[in-house]
Structure 1
Amino acid sequence: MTSDALVDALVRNTFEVVGVLTRIGAEHDLSLTQLRVLGILRDRRPRMTELAAFLGLDKSTLSGLIDRAEQRGLVARGKNAQDRRVVDVFITPAGLELAEQVYDEVRRALTPVTNRLDPQDGDQLAKLLHGLHSPGRDLAP
């Protein structure tokens, strides 16, 4: 596969996945960025500054995003266990429940696409896509 064909395939598939995420997020009054925040917080408790950097948002934009999520009871802020001057953000039980519900809906919506692959090819594709992930863009768990 040529580089152009690979880029085209990645872009086409990204548009399909983003379309699903946008539709399902809208059904729950969540933007793509809010979906990303809930997804990130499912298994980690980052510092506000780490989360802002990961999402490419300035501090005030992230604060507004977190304020709105807090008002909905989806996330909360707390002092960092190692450094009391630092503020962490974490998912609440209600936020985790919503994140899991959205994930289930996304999985069901994408099942017709993923079922086109036999299981071995699906595993290989997941491995290949994981290899494209930028390691420097990870948040500490």
Structure 2
Amino acid sequence: MTSCAASEGASSPVDERNWSEHPEDRIVDALVRTSFLVTAALSAVGTEHHLSLTQVRVLGILSDRQLRMTELAAYLGLERSTLSGLVNRAEQRGLLVRTRADSDGRSIEVSTTAEGRALAESVHGELAARLAPLVVKLDAEQRDCLAGLLESLPEPIESSGDSAPGAGRP
């Protein structure tokens, strides 16, 4: 297995901390700091397109699949009524569409329209450009290693303990 060594000269303000007493805090701190950076980038790109952070997430999740409203609500951690309002607004903008599920005819599935997919692609590209500086000091092998490590993390877990559906893009 390839070692994921940090780039020489790469440092952060917290590198000086002594993690020996609680080494597990190092990964928690790194994940939290990274989540702040990614969330800020997602929010900034969303704002440029008049999208909330949750709307950006919905477009990313649905960019390559359709989900039942209940599945999407569970994944996002939202009440169905909250998600319904969010989907209504996205439908009015021509980004999402609701259809009856083929499997039972009672459930409602939601998916992106062509306009929604185009916007999701644009947001993805802009997000990639904003996040690129975070990994610019990493060589190709280190970027591959980082991607592999992040991809190996489990999917989000619902409060009931069941795995949520795949995340897709942001």
TM bracket (short chain): over 0.9
Work out the number of aligned pairs and report it.
141
The answer to whether the aligner puts 1:83 opposite 2:110 as a matched pair is no
SS of 1:132 mapped into structure 2: coil
Alpha-carbon separation, structure 2, partners of 1:16 and 1:140? 19
* Matched-pair identity in %: 51
TM-score by length of 1: 0.94
Q: Specify the alignment match of 1:16 in structure 2.
A: 37
Residues 53 and 95 (structure 1), Cα distance of their counterparts in 2 relative to 1, 3 Å cut: same
C-alpha contact (below 8 Å) 2:63/2:112 kept by paired residues: yes
Q: CA deviation at 1:140?
A: 9.5
Q: Specify the alignment match of 2:134 in structure 1.
A: 113
- 1:12 maps to amino acid: R
Alpha-carbon separation, structure 2, partners of 1:106 and 1:114? 13
TM-score by length of 2: 0.79
Unaligned runs of 5+ in 1: none
C-alpha contact (below 8 Å) 1:54/1:137 kept by paired residues: yes
Alpha-carbon separation, structure 2, partners of 1:77 and 1:35? 18
Aligned CA-pair RMSD = 1.6
Q: Specify the alignment match of 1:46 in structure 2.
A: 67
C-alpha contact (below 8 Å) 2:96/2:112 kept by paired residues: yes
Q: Specify the alignment match of 1:137 in structure 2.
A: 164
Unaligned runs of 5+ in 2: 1-18, 157-162
C-alpha contact (below 8 Å) 2:73/2:80 kept by paired residues: yes
SS of 1:137 mapped into structure 2: coil
The answer to whether the aligner puts 1:3 opposite 2:24 as a matched pair is yes
Residues 107 and 140 (structure 1), Cα distance of their counterparts in 2 relative to 1, 3 Å cut: closer
Q: Specify the alignment match of 1:127 in structure 2.
A: 148
Higher relative helix content: 1
Q: Higher relative contact order by CA 8 Å / sep ≥ 6: 1 or 2? A: 2
Please list every run of at least 4 consecutive aligned residues from structure 1 whose deviation after the TM superposition is greater than 6 angstroms: none
- 2:153 maps to amino acid: L
Alpha-carbon separation, structure 1, partners of 2:81 and 2:114? 25
Alpha-carbon separation, structure 2, partners of 1:91 and 1:58? 20
Cα distance per residue 1:53-76 (max 9 Å; x no partner): 111111110100000000000000
> Which is greater in Rg?
2
Residues 140 and 126 (structure 1), Cα distance of their counterparts in 2 relative to 1, 3 Å cut: closer
